[in-house]
Structure 1
Amino acid sequence: MVCFCFLVDQKRMVRRSKPVAGSCSRCGHGAKVAEMYTSTRFCYIPFYTKSWKAIVCSFCGVILKYYT
């Protein structure tokens, strides 16, 4: 009998952010441009990292638009 157990998780983190003119379409609060990165780990060892930019609401945290 063979049993496979995979532990994979993915984290999104903000490196830097700065305010931008405009507001969130959901809650109406201010937005910010954030340089983000996504880290995918397998058994606590990171094996894939991607950097990207996004416009994020500063109050509710929703991603309004992203750029690769």
Structure 2
Amino acid sequence: MLFFCFLYDQKRMVRNSKPVAGICSRCGGCASVADMETATRFCYVPIYRKSWRAIICTFCGALLKSYRHVC
């Protein structure tokens, strides 16, 4: 039964990013706005994709704010 945990995963990818004015509240690093994509996979085959925007820290990678991406 333990091998079922490895068949299903979710991967978060940064498609592109731009620097923004502001700093990270956790580490003090620079922030950037990024177009993100989340892919849910079953046996390495993507079954669901979601695109969204987020403000992330470029140093520690913390997700500072996320919002829906309107195409």
Give the alignment's TM-score, normalised by structure 2. Answer: 0.86
Please provide the CA RMSD for this pair. Answer: 1.2
> 1:1-68 counterparts in 2 under 5 A?
6=4, 7-68=7-68
2: CA distance, partners of 1:23 / 1:61:
12
Distance 2:29 2:42 in 1: 36
Compute the displacement of 1:9 (Å).
Answer: 0.7
1 CA distance for matches of 2:42 and 2:54? 25
Give secondary structure in 2 for the equivalent of 1:50.
Answer: strand
Bigger Rg, structure 1 or 2: 1
Q: Distance in 2 between matches of 1:44 and 1:32?
A: 29
Gaps of 5+ in 2: none
Inter-partner Cα distance in structure 2 for 1:44 and 1:60: 27
Count of residues in Structure 1 that have an aligned counterpart in Structure 2: 65
Q: Give SS of 2:56's match.
A: strand
**Distance in 2 between residues matched to 1:14 and 1:43, nearest whole Å:** 22
Give the Å deviation of 1:43. Answer: 1.0
Q: What amino acid is aligned across from residue 63 of structure 2 in structure 1?
A: I
State how far apart, in whole Å, the 2-side matches of 1:40 and 1:29 are: 30
